[in-house]
Copies of this chain bind each other. A is one copy, B any other.
Amino acid sequence: MQTGSCARSTGTRPRLWRVTTRRSRTAPAGLTREGIVDVAIRVADADGPTAVSMRRIAQELGVDPMSLYRHIGAKDGLLDLMTDTVVAGIERVEPGATWVETAREQMLAARRTMLRHPWTAEVVKARPIPTPAALRYVDTILGILRGGGLSLDLTHHALHVLGSRILGFGQNLFDEGADTPPEVAAARAAGLAHEMPWVAEMIVGSAHGGALGGCDDDAEFVFSLDLILEGLEHRRAAGR
């Protein structure tokens, strides 16, 4: 982890971004939220997510650590912005011949992005709630599944099975459905309906406890397990 002696050596690491040294007090540094996030992503790509510290990226920018707080709320906010930026960069694929083909291509596209920023999955999983871009991406996936004819609750199951296969979120997305009053959920969904129609639909479906009645983690685990074991048994019976 962090050892005083070996951490010393990072002092000589070449700057990844701005080469200016600590500026004189009067000159504006021209910090922007986008610039900060950009450098943070670069640092994470180069040295892993644990290397992203306020002090490190401030040093990378030739700036005081506290200056960053003018532009981002806190460390957690920075991590959110980083993953949001990466996830927003996932390309959307054209519909294929079948929904399976479309879903397959879409997730391979996501994987291509994740491979460029391998730290993302880990950071996303550590964050409690999904970022806007993540929700929009989930909406894309939901649209493919629903458009392919999957029922609402089969789609819900699908999100759980595919969860880590996609990115790592989608696991506990709709926990609120269980204890949020239906009218609140409905109102929220109405606000979302324009931008994320499929997410809105699923929230409403979760809330009124109908076909999918909240989100039973045990049931989801068993569903996933059985689906996978069944697929494996098929392949075994078919002779590898």
Contacts and interface: CB of A to CB of B under 8 A. Distances in A.
Interface of A: 1, 74-76, 100, 103-104, 107-108, 111, 122, 125-126, 145, 148-151, 153-154, 157-158, 161-162, 164-165, 221-222, 224-233, 235-236, 240
B161 A100 contact: no
Chain B CB count within 10 A is highest, among A103, A225, A228, A231, for A231
A233 to B, nearest CB: 6
List the number of copies, as a whole number: 2
Contact of A240 (B76, B107, B151, B162): B151
Contact of A228 (B74, B162, B221): B162
Contact of A221 (B126, B149, B165): B165
Given A230-B231, A231-B231, A233-B100, A107 B151 contact: no
A94 to B, nearest CB: 18
Given A75-B1, A76-B1, A164-B164, A150 B232 contact: yes
Nearest to A74: B1
Contact of A104 (B148, B151, B225, B235): B225
Given A76-B1, A111-B221, A221-B111, A153 B240 contact: yes
A79 to B, nearest CB: 10
Contacts of A225: 104, 107-108, 162, 165
B148 A236 contact: yes
A93 to B, nearest CB: 14
A236 B162 contact: no
A186 B232 CA distance: 28
